[in-house]
Each structure stands twice: as C-alpha cells, then as structure tokens.
Amino acid sequence: MSIYSRAVDAAYTRAINTTSRFVPMHWQIRAIEQLIKAKRMTLGERPVPRFVEEPLPEVEALLLHEIDVSNPFLYRQGKWQSYFKRLRDEAPVHFQADSPFGPFWSVTRYDDILFVDKHHELFSAEPIIVLGDRPEGMALKTFIAMDPPRHDVERQAVQAVVAPKNLKEMEGLIRQRTQEVLDDLPLDQPFDWVETVSIELTGRMLATLLGFPYEKRHLLTYWSDLIAGSPEMTGGAFSDKSEVFSAAADMALHFAQLWRDNKARHADGTPHGFDLISLMQSHADTANLIDEPLVFLGNLSLLIVGGNDTTRNSMTGGVLAMHENPAEFEKLKANPGLISNMVSEIIRWQTPLAYMRRVAKQDVELGGRTIREGDRVVMWYASGNRDERKIDNPDAFLIDRKGARNHLSFGFGIHRCMGNRLAEMQLRVLWEELLQRFDRIEVVGEPERVQSNFVRGYARMMVKLSAKA
Amino acid sequence: MGKITFIEHDGAEHVVALEAGSSLMQIAMDHGIPGIDADCGGSCACGTCHVIVEAAWAGQLGAMAADEQQLLDMTPERASTSRLACQVQVTQDMDGMLVRLPEFQM
C-alpha cells in the first residue's frame, strides 16, 4: 500500500471508530455507500471486471507468459490440473503481467509454497489474501490479512472459540444436528446435496459458533457468499454493489444487536456461553471490540466465510470423490477406522480454497526468478496438493493414503487455518453418520461448479441415496 | 542405547529407544506415538508436534528459533517447557528424558 493510501485508510478507520460511539454501525455503512456513490459521480467509477464465460484453450496451445490461472472458469471447466501441471513443470514461479486483477506471481510447487507461507517477514498478508482488490469502502480488518504483531493479538483473542477444548463440548451438538439433517433426507430420489446437506449443516454450525439466532441461520451463508463472491476480488458472478452494501449493513445491524443482547444477559449474572460473542466479551483484548466496527465486522466476516465455503465444499467434494472412486467407498465400509485419514484426503483432494495471496516486502529470489518488493505472490495450494514431487500419485483419491495429513489446504505458518480441527470434526461426524444410514450415495449428472478463482466449490450436486439393508 | 518416555495426556506411557541425531518428532512418528500429528512433516510450520518436556531436561534442548516460538504462542496448552518435537535434535545426553503430550494438537 502506498503511503498516501495508508494515511487515507488510517483516517477512515479513525473516523469510523470515533463515530461508532454515537452512530449505529449499519448507518455508518449506509453513509459510506452514499459517500462512494458521490465520489463516483464526480471522479468516475473504478471499473469492476465483468467475467463472461468462454471455453478455455488447452494449455498446450498457450505460450508460458499467456497462461493466466486467475481465470475464474479454470476450475469449472476442468482445466486447472493441466494448467497447473505445466506451470509446476516449466515455470514453477511464474509471472502473469496482464491479468484482470493486475500483475501477479504464481507459486505452484509444494516446497516453494511452504517457503512463502513460512516466511511472513518476507511476504506480507496485508491488505488482503485474495488476488483482487477489495470493493471500495469495504476496508474490513481481519487478522488473516494482518502481519505480526497485531495479527498475533487479534488471533489469540478469538481462537478459543474453535480450540479443541471447546470443540469437545460441541461434538455432541454437532452430531445431533447432523443426525437431524440426515434423518430427513429422501431415499431413492434425486435431491440437491449442496443445498439440503452441505449448506444446511454449515449454516447450523455457524449459528451455534456465533450464538446467532438459529431460525435466521440462512443469512449467514447468504452474507458469506456475497463477501467471498465479489468479481473484483475473486472473479465471482455477483456484481450488484448495492446488494453488497445492504448485506453489510444488515450484518452490522444483526451483530450489534446480538452483542448488546448478550451483554445484557451477562449483566444479569447469566454465565458466558462458549459462542464467539460471549468469548469476545469475556476476553479483555476484545471486550470493547464493538467500538472498532471495521475490526468487529472483519473478524465476524472472516469466521463466517472461513467456516462456510471451506467445510461446505469439502462435504460435497467428499461425496463426489467417493462416487468417482467406488472402490474407496467399499474400502471405507469394510474399515470405518479409516474415516479420520479419509477426512484429510478429502480436504487435500478438494482443496476448497485454491490459494492465499501475499505481497513481497523486499526483493526475493525464488525458483530462479526475482520477485520484486511490492509484487503480489499467489500460493496455489490446489497445485501444491497435486505436486508429484511431493505426493505419490497425487491425482488419485486414496482414503488410506500415507501422510494424508501433510496437505497444504490449511496453509502453514502463523496464518494456518484456525478452524482446522473443527472442520475435521464436522467431516468426521458427517461420514460416521452417513455410514450408519446409507449403502450408496450416487451422484446424478454433472455437479455445477462455482465461478471463482478462489473458492473451489459446488453450486449444485444432485444425488440419490440407497438405505443400508 | 538409551531411552525416551512419551506420556500421553491420559497418562499412558510409551518407552522408545533413543536414536541420537534424529528429531524427537521423527522418533515419535517411527514408533507411532499417538497424539503427535506432525501435519507439516517436520518443517516447523504447523505446530502439531507440540510436546512438554519434563523440566529436568529442559536445559539440554538447545535454543528455540523465532518461528518455533511463534507457533507455540498460538497453542492454548503452552507450558514453560513446551517445544515443537520437530525442532529438538536428540542427543545421547537425553537418555531417560520424559516427554509429555498435550491434550490436543492445534
């Protein structure tokens, strides 16, 4: 970030924090929207890229410098494996000078990704971890996109909510909710697994984690899709800016309310629950977080998005992987003890988030290339998880794979996924309960994949269940 | 030939042969000690081979680098003699060392 934009950013944050004492957060967001509209009328609009799907060429038809793995249709069109294999083999540290998101480096081999992820002193996570810029006015602050020392403080304040100790308390609840969803599924007739199971289960989990009203849980997944789906950040299909601002204002309104209700409840002497809002209020560093709306909303957004797309798409991806590899499903039925190992293999195979982005803090030599200070660097976990230099037979889905835990999907280093154990538990419980009930989970037709260069997910996947005899 | 004892959180003990020159994580993995995940395979990048060394041996362990320190800081079960097992190079002097495992790896 330039000195000028840093100063603007700091002033903006200060203004929001100061006014938050007497202006409700959702009014502030509306005010920002009006401000940006006014600015656009006088100064013109920052262009939002519009992505129109066209068939991608075979990678062999391209010159190296023409390969652009930021294309949001690469995954949907099934071209990502060949594109990344060529980069790993011929240009493992690759520069794309002219993408719709601006110039960026791609790091595609496992060991190089590990190097970048570990060296946060060379590669900054600020100001954002997706490829493109933030939508104007939405300068939310979250620790996934902060460097130490601020990162460490902010992360520690909220990580207790997904710490294994807390999870032990929650496992019974997660299992019960999983059972309820599975018991209601239709047998022997096609239905959409994404909507009925994956979204429903992650929505219930998020509502529990956040202490959010259960009957309004669909809002959480709706907000999450909007936040993660912006075209300028990840090449997504959403483009109506007023919808994004309405959602942000609505989210602010709901969470400010939740914060106040929770505070009032504890003032009466009711003990704190293990949900996120309660944990924040009982922790000195975050007890007044509501006075910093951009951090408050930023951290909530991070937990909502972090707990939504990732688990949701691993829940769908696991079923697809089993359908495509029926011998593995037989292996699992014969030996349910493989579930934990299988969960790691599903997370590697799916890699629900394709990458994390960094910015070089100084010139760095990597793979024979010189990355310049200020350049964007993308660590393609989806590619590293298929790197034949590190992983045997990487395109195969093997539930008893040796070293299945050594995948890159959670990232490594100080930004390693905080919810990894929760995710593993949710998937383990899902598969334990599936095995109890169903003999066959057949995928009917082709699943619909999401338009994004970041989220590797499914919009729809029809399945047909056969009950266990 | 010396020995090292790993003690699980529930008290279960595992006595294994000391192999000088290996990392403590490698020894634990070779003997299938439960409770050590080693997700990054020993690169000091994930924090899932967290162990708590019995105080008497703490002085033998060698200095801790900044990256190890940082990962341990993220663990709620951190104790004063916490280490990442992948960063402890085992020497003959560690004969008889007691190594406790935390309840969870993050």
Instruction: State the virtual CA torsion across A395, A401, A403, A408 in degrees, nearest 10.
Output: 30
Burial class (CB in 10 A: 0-12, 13-18, 19+), A95: middle
CA distance A384 to B51: 28
Q: Is residue B105 part of a domain?
A: no
Cis check: omega of the bond before A127, within 30 degrees of 0: yes
Residue A11, CA distances (Å) to A38, A133, A240, A248, A337 in order: 19, 19, 27, 21, 55
Is pLDDT of A244 > 80?
no
Residues of B in contact with A123 (CB under 8 A): none
How close does chain B come to A339, measured CA to CA in Å?
16
Domain interval for residue B53: 3-100
Q: Counting one residue from A and one from B, how many pairs have CB atoms under 8 Å apart?
A: 53
Q: Which residues contact A24 (CB under 8 A, 6 or more apart)?
A: A252, A253, A256
Is pLDDT of A268 > 70?
yes
Q: Is residue B24 part of a domain?
A: yes
Give the single-character DSSP code of B94: G
Q: Percentage of residues in chain B with pLDDT exceeding 90?
A: 85
CA distance A337 to A450: 33
Nearest in space to A465 (alpha carbons), one of A110, A185, A212: A185
Is pLDDT of A21 > 70?
no
Looking at residue A112, its pLDDT comes to 98
Give the CATH number of the domain where residue B8 resides: 3.10.20.30
- Chain A residue nearest residue B105, CA to CA: A164
Token code pair at residue A286: 């975050």
Lowest mean pLDDT among A254-258, A299-303, A320-324: A299-303
- The single-letter code of the amino acid at A225 is D
Residue of A239 and A90 predicted with greater confidence: A90
Looking at residue A116, its pLDDT comes to 98
Is pLDDT of A239 > 80?
no
Residue of A11 and A392 predicted with greater confidence: A392
Of these ranges, A6-10, A26-30, A322-326, the one predicted with the greatest mean pLDDT is: A322-326
Band (pLDDT 50/70/90 cuts) for residue A269 is confident
Residue of A312 and A288 predicted with greater confidence: A312
Is pLDDT of A246 > 70?
yes
Angle, to 10 degrees, between the axis of helix A339-350 and the axis of helix A420-437? 120
Looking at residue A134, its pLDDT comes to 75
Cβ–Cβ below 8 Å for B74 and A155: yes
Q: pTM of the prediction?
A: 0.91
Band (pLDDT 50/70/90 cuts) for residue A427 is very high
Lowest mean pLDDT among A189-203, A267-281, A289-303: A267-281
The secondary structure of A144-191 as a DSSP string is: GG--TTHHHHHHHHHHGGGSHHHHHHHHHHHHHHHHHHHHT--SSS-E
Residue of A13 and A381 predicted with greater confidence: A381
Q: Average pLDDT in the A391-420 region?
A: 96
Looking at residue A142, its pLDDT comes to 85
Q: Average pLDDT in the A438-447 region?
A: 97
Residue of B90 and A134 predicted with greater confidence: B90
Cβ–Cβ below 8 Å for A406 and B40: yes
Q: Average pLDDT in the A36-61 region?
A: 76
Band (pLDDT 50/70/90 cuts) for residue A32 is low
Q: What is the mean pLDDT of chain A?
A: 89
Domain interval for residue A317: 3-467
Give the single-character DSSP code of A21: T
Looking at residue A463, its pLDDT comes to 98
Looking at residue A263, its pLDDT comes to 87
Total structural domains within chain A: 1
Looking at residue A340, its pLDDT comes to 96
Residues of A in contact with B37 (CB under 8 A): 405
Is pLDDT of B50 > 60?
yes
Q: Which residues of B12-49 are buried (b: 16+ CB within 10 A; e: fewer)?
A: eebebebbeeebbbbbbbeeebebbbbbbbbbbbbbbb
Q: Is residue B81 part of a domain?
A: yes
ipTM summary value: 0.92
Q: What is the pLDDT of residues A336-387, one digit of tens each?
A: 999 999 999 999 999 999 999 999 999 999 999 999 999 999 999 999 999 9
Band (pLDDT 50/70/90 cuts) for residue A41 is low
Q: Average pLDDT in the A2-9 region?
A: 58
Band (pLDDT 50/70/90 cuts) for residue A46 is low
Q: Is residue B72 part of a domain?
A: yes
Cβ–Cβ below 8 Å for B74 and A118: no
Is pLDDT of A40 > 80?
no
Residues of A in contact with B104 (CB under 8 A): 163-165, 421
Check if the beta carbon of residue A252 is closer than 8 Å to that of residue A25: yes
Cβ–Cβ below 8 Å for B43 and A114: yes
Residue A111, CA distances (Å) to A88, A92, A135, A415, B85 in order: 11, 10, 33, 17, 21
With vertex at residue A285, the alpha carbon angle to CA A279 and CA A290, rounded to the nearest 5 degrees, is 75
Specify which residues A459 forms β-bridges with: none
Cβ–Cβ below 8 Å for A164 and B44: no
Lowest mean pLDDT among A69-73, A173-177, A241-245, A248-252: A241-245
Query: Would you give the distance in Å from CA A232 to the centre of its chain?
Result: 16
Residue of A15 and A383 predicted with greater confidence: A383
Band (pLDDT 50/70/90 cuts) for residue A306 is confident
Band (pLDDT 50/70/90 cuts) for residue A22 is low
Q: Is residue B106 part of a domain?
A: no
> Which residues, numbered 139 to 198 in chain A, qualify as contacts with chain B under a Cβ-Cβ cut-off of 8 Å?
148, 152, 155-156, 159-160, 163-165
Band (pLDDT 50/70/90 cuts) for residue A289 is confident
Q: Is A234 left (phi over 0), alpha (psi -120 to 50) or beta?
A: alpha
Angle, to 10 degrees, between the axis of helix A200-210 and the axis of helix A293-324? 150
Strand boundaries in chain B, DSSP class E: 3-7, 13-17, 50-53, 82-84, 97-100
Lowest mean pLDDT among A122-131, A165-174, B60-69: A165-174
A404 touches chain B (CB under 8 A): no
Q: Is residue B7 part of a domain?
A: yes
Token code pair at residue A103: 């110039």
Looking at residue A160, its pLDDT comes to 77
CA distance A62 to A171: 49
Looking at residue A354, its pLDDT comes to 98
Q: What is the pLDDT of residues A78-126, one digit of tens each?
A: 999 999 999 999 999 999 999 999 999 999 999 999 999 999 999 999 9
Cβ–Cβ below 8 Å for B41 and A403: yes
Give the CATH number of the domain where residue A213 resides: 1.10.630.10
Band (pLDDT 50/70/90 cuts) for residue A300 is confident
Q: Average pLDDT in the A395-423 region?
A: 96
With vertex at residue A40, the alpha carbon angle to CA A7 and CA A137, rounded to the nearest 5 degrees, is 45
Long-range contacts of A2-9 (CB under 8 A, 24+ apart): A9/A127, A9/A139
Total structural domains within chain B: 1
- Chain B residue nearest residue A416, CA to CA: B46
Q: Is residue B46 part of a domain?
A: yes
Is pLDDT of A447 > 60?
yes
Is pLDDT of B106 > 90?
no
Check if the beta carbon of residue A407 is closer than 8 Å to that of residue A344: yes
Looking at residue A57, its pLDDT comes to 97
